[in-house]
Structure formats: structure tokens, C-alpha cells
Amino acid sequence: MLFTSPEFFTLLACTFLLYYLVGKAQLQKIILVISSFTFYAWNFPKLLALLCVSILINILTVKAIKQSKAGQRYWWATLGVVINLGILAFFKYSPLLGKTFFESGSSVGEYLMGIPLPIGISFFTFQGLSLVVDTYRAKDGDDNLPEHTGSLVESIALYIAFFPQLIAGPIVKAYEFLPQIAKKAFRDIDWEYCIKQLIVGYFLKMVIADNLKDHTFWMQYPYFMELSGLNLMALLFGYSMQIFADFAGYSLIALGHAGLFGYRLRDNFMFPYISASFSEFWRRWHISLSTFLREYLYIPLGGNRKGKVRTYVNLMLTMVLGGFWHGAAWSYAVWGAAHGIALALERFVNDALPFQWPKGFRFVKIIFIFSVVTLLWLLFRLPAFSEVLLYLSQIKNAPFFKGVNDLNTAFFISMYALPIMAYHGWYLLKESGSKNWAIKLEPLLYACLLFMILVNSGSSGSFIYFQF
Amino acid sequence: MLKKIFLYTALLLIAYTVVLRFLPSDIDTDQSQWGTNVIKARDYILSEEDFKNVIVGTSLSTRLVTDSLGDDFVNLSFSGSTIWDGIELIEAREQKPKRVFIESTFVFKKTDGSLTDYVSKGFSSKLKSTLPVFREKNQPVGVIKGLVTKALKSGGPLASYDSVAVEINPEILEIQSDYFVEEYTDENYEWIFTKKLIWPLERLLDQGIEVVFYEMPLHPSFCESEVIKDVRWHIDELTKREGVSFLKVNNCEAYQTNDGIHLVSHSGLKFTNKLKSQL
């Protein structure tokens, strides 16, 4: 079910009404779980079974960890991690294994390639992992989980299936979400916060991403072979804007909807395109994934505590696995590896430099980081590595300008990129101390965004991160 | 804060409604393929004009220069879509044309009917038919583009994209060939020529509308494909049986396409003139 569909708004309205009418914590949890299951099962009811199995496994594992003695807790937690990763690996990576290691036409290969990818699996299995690990790490039973079995089941089902963030994040950690489960009252809703998140989120998705997608459609092979150099560069820039608007939009909508039900999810994006380094970019982009990988992978691997070489290895490993998390294709691993190399190189150069970068140099660094990040998004857009190389060679070899259509594309991409740049600029303005002036203009700005949602939305399309 | 946001939004909507009244009516506000289709379809549904001749086609027929055919022609050909969308739109509009031209080349392309539903059903389409400010045609970004293009055109004609590129990329030709190499079964033909096409055709004829089938030129290798020859034979039989006209293309090599199926602009004009001479 799409956040922009009439069915979703109907479900949201009914859930909202019932949720605040019942007024009891337990019933509120049940209502949210039923709504979340409806939301998930809407287009593919069969996939609900997998979500339920995932929830059940995590309930059993958590129960076992809680009831076991110190020595056994480790093994239950390990088993929980292995099962969660196993589910993810089976459904997400079997087609890739089938394609890579088996001849076409072989029965095993065909079987593996025929396994469907359940929507949102990367998100809910990672939340399952967080639950198992956080329960294991909790000291003196301080795991925020209820003792009563019925209540435990409801809480875990709600944590994993909560519909605002179920299929495309943000990835919510158990220790952030579970303490929030309690009775919620209508009067406690922070309407201003929710409406602001929803306006910006829907603007980014419906006005920016949905309009840009109709242009970046032509980045597919072989259509891009017909385009001019100007067009190819404009489309690549447009895709960079689109992927930000699409995913940041989804995350903000999720934050807004969660807020309506009394839950605060952490920001997933913090103006990433003003980053002046790769490490800053990863502190601002898909924050819930990068913090997850840091807390549950990079630090357990040793982080930066085991010498320089090991730090670089840990960075590379974390980023390659982070790349693979996005999709079952080698291009995602290459994308992750490229970011890993960039992070390692950056750390090496910063350690080796005998001076600090001058402050005025920041703008040049922002442009550089943005350009590299944008170039690497090609690995997201084009599934085959050979197509990525062909696209890049076409930028160099195709005529720079072919005709009036080039200007059309460049015009639309500039028009829809402008708000994204202004959005980042707005943040810099507020940060630079022009806060009062900026705050006074806020109602008018939000009104402009709402106006554009009403009169300038593009054709409805899926969120890019649904495929992950 | 929230009250201010909603109040300003209402004021912006009112102000923009006023601005729209002063905009030139001939600006081209298309932004994308889908947007172009929706604007064209909605214009047809909402227009009070008496269109006597309606062209129904796929993206192939979008290359016809409709203006040169006359004021009472409207072209309901949609890129990325099918003839069924145009036929559904004719059925959805109360005022019927006198003559309908149906492109016969891509009859096997399927539609989900989403375009007609999108412009004629539901709350959103009712809102858009009542309040022009919400129509795709009036989207601010499209309007700005239309005004800029109009200003630039006043300084002389702009170079057309495909007036330069006429060499067809072999990979694109390969993709386009999929339709022509697919083997359609007898059941496929039976479904199209005894049911799917017959129902709307007979409804149009019953309402006293004259129907003309026509072919669009293709790359010569596609023109002689088995699918095209079979479809031509079936349409021939059908038109003889129903007593309607069928305009065939027998000289594809006289036209140029940019991808094997879509005519370049000068060929589009040439074929439109030929069509006009046959009417």
C-alpha cells in the first residue's frame, strides 16, 4: 500500500479514530498491529505469513534469552541472529546466487531465481536483529520488554510491524522504540511536528521525486544511448535529487504518521548534500542504517580500536555489507566498496595531512563529495555494471547538445532540483544564525509546499527503497 | 503556526486561480509522457468543442501533424499506451464525433484502462473538472516552461530533436523488434478480431459514427513482418465485413523512423499529407 494512495488514507483515518477511541494501551497496540498487517498484506496477502513467521521467531528467541542463564543467553542470541540473517539471505540473495553460481536452465538455479523478494524484508529483519541483540545486551532484565507473554507478543509484533516504518524504514532500534510503548492520548499529539513532517515528506515525494522519475526513466539501457552529453549529465544530477527526495520524503512521512500515534522515530536524513566529507555524508544519509551498521557491525568488529589497518578493513567490510543490504546485485556491493574505499582514503589523508583544511575550502569539498556521491548513484540506477561504464563513456562520447529536447529535460530537472538545493540552503541559513528571520518565514514556506502538493504532484510511483 | 499555514495555502490557491485567467491559452505546459497523455485526455473529456474527427492510436500516431488535418480533428494517440485508451475516452465523453480513425498497427498492445479511469472517475477527477487550478495542464512548473518556450519561439523556430538524429541505434531496433517477432496464437487473433475490437467498433457504428482504420509506416523490416501481415489480413477481412474503410501503407521505405517505429518529424508531416489526400 502506497503512502500516497486513497486506500492508505482510509486505513489511516480508521486506525486513528479507533486508536484514540479505545483509550487502553493493550487495545491500542492490537489496533496498530492489525492495521500494520492490513497495510503489509494489501497487495500480496501471502507475504504476511513471512512477516508473522519473522515476528514469531523473534518472540521465541527473546523469550528464550530472557529465561536462560548467563551462559545460554549467548547461544540463544546467536541462534536468533543466524535465523534472522538466514531469512534475509534466503529471500533476498538466493536469486543472485542462482544467477552467479548455477548454469542457466539448471533446476537449482531456476528454483533459486524464482524465489520472490518480500517487500520490506531488509527492514523488518534488521529490526528483528536489533531486538535480539538489545535483549541479550540488556543488563539486569532492563530490556524494556513486558514479562507477561501476551503483552510481550503484542509489543514485539508492534515493534516489528509498525506500519509507518515497516517497508522502507527508518530502521528503528529496539531500545529506542520499546520504551515508548504505553497508553497514548489524543491531547498529547504534537500536531505542529506531525503536520510539518508530513508536508515536507509529501512534497519531496509527490512533487519532486514523482515528477523527476518521469524524466530519469530514460536513463535505462539502451534508451540513454540516444541522449546527448548534456542530457546524460542532467539526468544523473536529476536522479541524485530524486533518490534523496524519494527516500527522505518517505522517512519524513513515516515520522509524521508515527507522531500521530504518539511515537517519535529518529530523523533519517540530516541534509546530506551539504556534507564536506564522506564520513559526514554517512552521518547525514540514511542515519538509521548507518548507525545500525556502526552499532551492530563496525563496533563489534573492533571499530577503530585495533590499529589503522584493521580500521580500514572494518570500514570496507561494513560498507560492502551495507551495499549488499540494499540489493542482491553485485553493483550494490561495488557501490558499498566504493564508499568504503572513499571513507578509508579520507581517514588516511586526514591522518597524514600536516595541516587543517582552511574553512573557506568547505564549499569546494561539498561540491566534490556531492559529485562523487551522485556518480556512484549510477550503480543504483543501472543494474548491470557494464551499463554503468557505457553510460559514463556516453557522457564523454555523445554529442554535448542535440536539440531542443535537451533544454526541456535540463529545464525540468533544474526546476525540480531547485527546492532540494533551497532545502539544504535553508538549513545552512538557520545554522548560520539567521534563525529568527528564517522562523518568521516558515508558515509561508510550508504553505508554498502544501500548495505545490495540491497543484503540482507527479504521477504516483513506488518508493525507490521499496525494492530493498 | 498551523492556522497560518492553511490560511496562506488557501490564499495561494485563490491567487493562482486569478493568475491562470490571465495566461495565454496557447502555451504548451506538457512536462512528461504521462503528463502529456493526461492533459490530452482530460482536455478531450472536458472540452465543449465539437470534434468531428477523432484519431485513436498509439505513440506511433502522435507523430501525425494533426493541425494540418483541420480544426475539427483531435488526436487521441498516447505515448506508452494503446488504441483502447482512445476508444474508452470516446465512450466516456457524451458528445460523439462523426468520424473515428483507428490505428491498426499495434492492436496486440494491452491497456489497464488507467488513463481513462484517471481522467473520468473518482473524487480527484471531479475536483479537477470543477476547479481548473488542480488540473495537470495548469501545474506551475509546466506553465513556467510554457511561457519560457513561447518567449523563445517568438525569436524564431527551435531546432527539432529528431531533425538531426535519423540513424537508428541497433540495440533500440532490437528492443522494438520484440513485438514483431512474438508469435501470437490463433486464440490471440480470435480474441482481438472477434471480440475486443468488434465490441467498440459495433458500438461506434450503431451510433452512426463512421470508422476508418489506418496503418502507420514502420521500419521496412517491421512492415513486412508476419505479425503486421497477419494483422493487415484480419483488418482487411473485418473492414470488408463491416463496410468500413482501411488505409494501408505499402511503401514504408519512403518514410524514416528514429527507432524503427516512430516517424521523424519530416516523415510525420509527409505521412499526414498522404493521409489527408486519402480522406
Q: What are phi and psi of B100, to 5 degrees?
A: -125, 130
Percent of chain B with pLDDT over 90: 39
Alpha-carbon radius of gyration of chain B: 21
What averages of pLDDT result for each successive group of 10 residues across chain B (279 residues)? 94 96 91 91 90 92 88 89 89 90 85 78 88 95 93 64 63 82 82 83 91 92 88 90 89 88 90 86
Mutate to test the interface with A, among B11, B20, B31, B123 (most CBs of A within 10 A): B31
Q: What's residue A464's pLDDT? A: 63
ipTM metric: 0.85
Cβ contacts from A onto B, under 8 A: 104
Q: What's residue A98's pLDDT? A: 83
Domain assignment present for residue A359? The answer is no
Kindly list the residues from chain A whose CB atom is less than 8 angstroms away from the CB atom of residue B34.
214, 458-459
Helix, strand, or coil here: A1? coil
Q: Quick one: A249 and A164 in the same domain?
A: no
Domain assignment present for residue B4? The answer is no
Domain assignment present for residue A66? The answer is yes
In DSSP terms, B247 is beta-bridged to B214
- Which structural domain, as residue segments, surrounds residue A63? 6-188
Question: In chain B, how many domains are there?
Answer: 1
Helix, strand, or coil here: B210? strand
Q: Quick one: A195 and A173 in the same domain?
A: no
CB contact under 8 A, A222 and B169: yes
Catalytic residue among A215, A326, A339, A424: A326
CB contact under 8 A, A214 and B32: yes
DSSP state of B257: B
CB contact under 8 A, A416 and B141: yes
pLDDT tens-digit map of A97-136: 888 888 777 888 888 888 888 888 989 999 999 999 999 9
CB nearest A404 (choices: B144, B159, B165): B159
Domain assignment present for residue A310? The answer is no
CB contact under 8 A, A402 and B164: yes
CA proximity to A178, closest of A200, A156, A194: A156
Supply the mean pLDDT for chain B.
Answer: 87
Mutate to test the interface with A, among B1, B16, B32, B119 (most CBs of A within 10 A): B32
CA proximity to A256, closest of A190, A160, A157, A188: A190
Q: d(Cα A144, Cα A177) in Å, to the nearest integer?
A: 9
Q: Quick one: A200 and A293 in the same domain?
A: yes
Q: Quick one: A389 and A447 in the same domain?
A: yes
- Which structural domain, as residue segments, surrounds residue B129? 24-155+169-278
Q: Quick one: A161 and A247 in the same domain?
A: no
Q: Quick one: A388 and A289 in the same domain?
A: yes
Q: Quick one: A32 and A156 in the same domain?
A: yes
Q: What's residue B162's pLDDT? A: 53
Other Cβ atoms less than 10 A from the Cβ of A452: the count is: 22
Out of A146, A162, A188, pick the residue that ends a domain: A188
Question: In chain A, how many domains are there?
Answer: 2
Domain assignment present for residue B96? The answer is yes
Domain assignment present for residue A317? The answer is no
Residues of chain A with pLDDT under 70: 140-141, 434-435, 461-468
Out of A169, A188, A207, pick the residue that ends a domain: A188
C-alpha cell at B56: 485513436
Q: Quick one: A12 and A62 in the same domain?
A: yes
Q: Quick one: A18 and A81 in the same domain?
A: yes
Q: What's residue B161's pLDDT? A: 47
Q: What are phi and psi of A458, to 5 degrees?
A: -85, -175
CB contact under 8 A, A226 and B12: no
Out of A152, A169, A188, pick the residue that ends a domain: A188
Element (H, E) at B99: strand B99-103
CB nearest A454 (choices: B134, B141, B165): B134
CB contact under 8 A, B161 and A222: no
Q: Which amino acid is at A139?
A: K
Domain assignment present for residue B104? The answer is yes
CB contact under 8 A, A226 and B172: yes
C-alpha cell at A237: 544530477
| B32 to chain A: closest CA residue | A214
Domain assignment present for residue B13? The answer is no
DSSP state of B261: S
Domain assignment present for residue A81? The answer is yes
Helix, strand, or coil here: A69? coil
Q: How many residues comprise chain B? A: 279
Domain assignment present for residue A73? The answer is yes
Q: Quick one: A64 and A196 in the same domain?
A: no
Q: Quick one: A166 and A184 in the same domain?
A: yes
The residue behind cell 551498521 is A293
CA proximity to B193, closest of B151, B244, B232, B141: B232
Kindly list the residues from chain B whose CB atom is less than 8 angstroms away from the CB atom of residue A411.
145, 148
Q: What's residue B124's pLDDT? A: 86
Q: What's residue A141's pLDDT? A: 66
Domain assignment present for residue B186? The answer is yes
CATH code of the domain containing B183: 3.40.50.1110
In DSSP terms, A386 is beta-bridged to none
Does residue B56 contact residue B76 with C-beta atoms inside 8 Å?
yes
| B172 to chain A: closest CA residue | A222
Q: Quick one: A159 and A213 in the same domain?
A: no
Q: d(Cα B263, Cα B275) in Å, to the nearest integer?
A: 14
Q: d(Cα B52, Cα B97) in Å, to the nearest integer?
A: 5
Domain assignment present for residue B40? The answer is yes
Is A339 annotated in the active site?
A: no
pLDDT tens-digit map of B24-69: 988 999 998 889 999 999 999 998 888 899 999 999 999 999 888 8
